[in-house]
Chains A and B, each alone.
Chain A
């Protein structure tokens, strides 16, 4: 039962254009959503997050949008740069019996072409 889904395994975007990565979820109890970025041979690193009570959070070139009615979030990167080429994981935070747990999506490999 995949509670967090990233349906696009890969995405290719031209440098300077907008990259849009999508994520869908099924559990309405998630209270925060996060995006992680992973380069080869490295661990994932935190990129940006959004509370379930917000619909947008922006940090520089990165903006996350949350549509609770559709149970959908997206990460926008603009303008896209070659260094943005990485695997991006969407994650959702759930509190179960006082314990905080992150549920991850499958990841989307973003390639920025010069």
Chain B
């Protein structure tokens, strides 16, 4: 079983719909992240959380919200999806250590907004 699990893996939805992407982890890490990947743009940080009571915006948080329900769970919501939110979304975890901040990624959730 994967240490970082994302659901759903694929989702097609329509403009204006509310969508939630869920992430759960068994690594015991406090830090969790949501990134999106777009062709030619690499991975960009949407939100991150360093513990259950801590939520921080990343570089592209507009149009998104998150919820840290427990140490192991971090969900990303699109309140009203729009086509330019079509992307591959990754959840990741890390430990609070120096040395490069190695991230452990889930397998990704591909979202298509029509």
Contact = CB atoms under 8 A, between A and B. Distances in A.
Contacts, number: 63
B42 A100 contact: no
Given A41-B108, A44-B105, A106 B42 contact: yes
Interface in A70-114: 89, 91, 93, 99-102, 104-107
A42 interface: yes
A69 to B, nearest CB: 21
B96 interface: yes
Given A42-B107, A42-B108, A99-B50, A49 B43 contact: no
Contacts of A36: 103
A60 interface: no
Given A43-B4, A44-B90, A99 B56 contact: yes
Interface in B80-101: 90, 92, 94, 96, 98-101
Contacts of A34: 100-102
Interface residues of A, number: 26
B96 A100 contact: yes
A33 B45 CA distance: 17
A39 to B, nearest CB: 10
A101 B40 contact: no
A105 to B, nearest CB: 5
Given A49-B99, A100-B101, 10 more contacts: A6-B42, A32-B98, A33-B100, A34-B101, A36-B103, A43-B90, A89-B43, A101-B48, A104-B42, A104-B44
19 contacts: A4-B42, A6-B42, A9-B40, A32-B101, A34-B102, A43-B4, A43-B90, A43-B106, A43-B107, A44-B90, A44-B103, A45-B105, A99-B50, A100-B94, A101-B48, A104-B43, A105-B42, A106-B40, A107-B42
A-B complex: 9 closest residue pairs judged by Cβ atoms: A43-B105, A32-B100, A49-B100, A104-B43, A104-B42, A106-B42, A100-B101, A46-B102, A93-B101
